[in-house]
Chains A and B, each alone.
Chain A
Amino acid sequence: MSIKIKFTLNGNKVQTIIEKNWTLLYLIRKEMKLTGTKEGCGYGECGACTVLVNNKAINSCIFLAIRADGEKITTIEGIGFEKNKIDSVQKSFIDNGGIQCGFCSPGMIISAKALLSEKSKPNRKDIKNAISGNICRCTGYEQIIKSIQKVIKKK
């Protein structure tokens, strides 16, 4: 049961044939070969698979690929894509120890990006709320919150 879909992936228009039972995560990792987005639990609990669909953060492991038809999807590879260098959020994560093992980082950065596109000056509570769906077992979250706060200060 395959079907052809069109969507915008990281600014590029893409056409591809998918199976109806694929998740968006499967499409991104196995078909598009963009392995920056990770699969953690597979049940929408850990947030490692977070991507942006129309600038909204969603868990791609429980989002059907067929629903991506006609939508704008941004993965971690698409962050800071235009200038061909890393984004200010990514830089801040590197500088402040927000990245340790790195498995949660793509999801964390996407969640942070979604927050910053909604609110220009979020407070600590907003930040905690925004990354509440992302699990990190290394940093204890403190460095991640600090990284996001630093980005806001630089603005």
Chain B
Amino acid sequence: MGNTTNSNYITVMERYKTMNKFNFFEARSIEEAFLIYIKLKKNKKDPVYIAGGTDLIINIKKKKITPKCLISINNIKNYKCIKFNKKSKELTIGSFVTHRELENSNLVRENYKILHDAIKCIGSTQIRNVATIGGNIVNAAPSADSVIPLIALDSFICLEKGKEKRTLKLSDFFVSPNKTVLKQGEILTKIIIPKTVFFSSGSYRKIGYRNSMELPIVSVGVFLSLDSKMSICKKARICLGVAAPTPIRILKAEKFLEGGKITEERLTESGIISAEESKVRDSYRGKAWFRKRLISTYVKRAGLLAIQRIKNMHNKIKKEKLI
């Protein structure tokens, strides 16, 4: 009898960790992916798109979803690159670019420090090698690391469905946890970061118990644009993760900073406003009061780091000119 219990245990374990049977299709273009989707949908095969799959496969293994068909969109080449348009100064990130590619890109590291801050603390090296930025956005977790800096940078996203295209602001994309305005069969293809002005920079900070493979207690992204004397704040973006059902911007604190002198006291004040305006809740990761305190402290710190980065960038350019 001992044997049977043992084998029962193994089958339970195996069943728990293996996946239900599904069919797998590889799409080579967005149009093809949509055609396959429509066809399978008609046959009631409930298809699901898969890009990197680091979240999707875990969900299939945990039996949270049981798709009959997967459509792989990971190998669509047009959307696997990072492009910088020198004329319009826009950065276009293809949706199937992996986090690791972004992390190793000099362009992102030098010019979009706030994004680089966030990308490098996602998952682990193994996850970043596979997981795509589009997947991180579409998943719409309130804690999604790459979303907060992208919202702070006023990014736009392109959604495609066959030949239909639409562009919308990333901040309008999220509805509630894991829910977006994405229609059936639609694919997120591009992320566009508009031109950033010269005296601007930002920083992102994720506060958690460990450094990798961790969902944050809260995460804070601050992006500031200053005037040429570096004393007055022209534009401010304060973005918080896990502070509400979706990633949010704190408009009141942004308005408070905009147009005024940039000092430590004013940043402290904006931190307090952010904490008041946030809709944090109690969870096992942290109580609401603790999260509020973290927000008020880290908004200030992220702001100070952003200013420091603007100054560093300015000094570097000054030195280069002297040489």
Contacts and interface: CB of A to CB of B under 8 A. Distances in A.
Interface string B122-140: 0111110110000000000
B19 interface: yes
Chain B interface size, under 10 / 10 to 19 / 20 to 34 / 35 or more = 20 to 34
B139 to A, nearest CB: 14
A93 to B, nearest CB: 18
A118 to B, nearest CB: 9
Interface string B51-93: 0011001100110000000001010000000000000000000
A68 interface: no
Interface in B95-136: 100, 120, 123-127, 129-130
A67 B62 CA distance: 21
Given A47-B126, A58-B129, A59-B127, A21 B213 contact: no
Contacts of A101: none
A133 B127 contact: yes
B19 A57 contact: no
A114 B123 CA distance: 17
A26 B61 CA distance: 13
B21 A1 contact: yes
A43 B58 contact: yes
Interface residues of A, number: 30
B308 interface: no
A39 B127 CA distance: 16
Given A21-B19, A58-B130, A44 B53 contact: no
Interface centre among A45, A62, A114, by most chain B C-beta atoms within 10 angstroms, is: A62
A132 B57 contact: no
B57 A56 contact: no
Interface of A: 1, 3, 19-21, 23, 26, 39, 42-45, 47, 50, 56-59, 62-64, 66-67, 111, 114, 129-130, 132-134
Given A56-B100, A134-B124, 13 more contacts: A1-B22, A1-B23, A21-B19, A21-B20, A39-B17, A42-B17, A43-B61, A58-B126, A59-B127, A62-B58, A64-B57, A66-B24, A67-B74
Interface of B: 17-24, 53-54, 57-58, 61-62, 72, 74, 100, 120, 123-127, 129-130, 211-213
